[in-house]
Amino acid sequence: MSCEPLLYSVRMRASTGRSHLSGAERLVPADRIDLTMKELVDRALSKQLAPDQIVVTIDALGDMPVHSVPSLDLISLDMHDIAACRENAARVLEASGVSSSAVLAAFRALEQGASPDGGNMRGAMIIDAETGERLEPDRSRGVRVSRFDWSEGASERIDRELSALGLTHFRTKEALALATKVAYAPGIVAELCWSDEPDYTAGYVADRTKGYVRFPHLKHAGNGFGGRAFFVTHGDLDRNVLMAYLQETPVLITEIGTCRAGDGLPGRSG
């Protein structure tokens, strides 16, 4: 654990009406705040649906301790069938300790709209890994993970590794960073995610042991439903501790894990 008093949390959220469109987060020193703000605003404005509100929030971390962690290992699976991707994503989750009923509950919520109004949640669901019960305090907002980023050196290295695999979309790098922070959270068993962007069909399953397992097709193109599910241990979870870590604890990824392509699940041959 290291202390970096000169870091600032820079967060962007773009919306139209009451609908969330885009969000991003950076941890940067003071001399990179201006450039970072421009990059995040430009990203919000690049959306197909123009936002009517863009909010950028900047908070100094001060003397708050920053946790330095290595990124999860990444495997990008070569699967072109949605049914196969979903079946194998479920297998990885169950091997991580998530019950089949909890897996089914998460898939149903993500594909039908996890918010009470039938739309996408702004944040993630928290799901009991044994029972499938939803535990997040606000089912519309969910849980927003904040205060995480790559160090400058790790950012450059992961860019090279992902580019070598043909993973040049910014979403992969950002999702890997978020999944890494989540994997180190107290009480987390695994994570399931796919994008709510209609033209982005990829998703992943992640845990600290198996790493970040990327599936190219967890939904059909044109489908605007998606989101995240954090599966947590049954019974003894302290939700306040978990929420504080996910939303407030600064995490900086300073080393990268292995990155490779494959056609078999982690821990299996083939």
User: Which two three-digit tokens encode residue 216?
Assistant: 């190219």
How many percent of the chain have pLDDT more than 70? 96
Residue at a domain's end among 30, 63, 96: 63
In a domain, 270, yes or no: no
Helix (H, G, I), strand (E, B) or coil at 156: helix
- Structural domain including 30 reads 2-63
Same domain, 21 and 8: yes
Q: What is the per-residue pLDDT for 268?
A: 56
User: Which two three-digit tokens encode residue 204?
Assistant: 């992943």
Kindly report the pTM of this predicted structure. Answer: 0.92
Mean pLDDT score of the chain: 92
223 phi and psi angles, rounded to 5 deg: -85, 125
Cα separation of 181 and 82, whole Å? Answer: 27
Same domain, 73 and 51: no
Nearest alpha-carbon partner for 25 in 174, 154, 140, 168:
174
Same domain, 248 and 129: yes
In a domain, 95, yes or no: yes
- Model confidence at 16, in pLDDT bands (50, 70, 90)? confident
Same domain, 246 and 123: yes
- Model confidence at 270, in pLDDT bands (50, 70, 90)? very low
Same domain, 139 and 37: no
Nearest alpha-carbon partner for 93 in 104, 109, 79, 81:
104
Model confidence pLDDT, tens digit, residues 32-71: 999 999 999 999 998 777 899 999 999 999 888 999 999 9
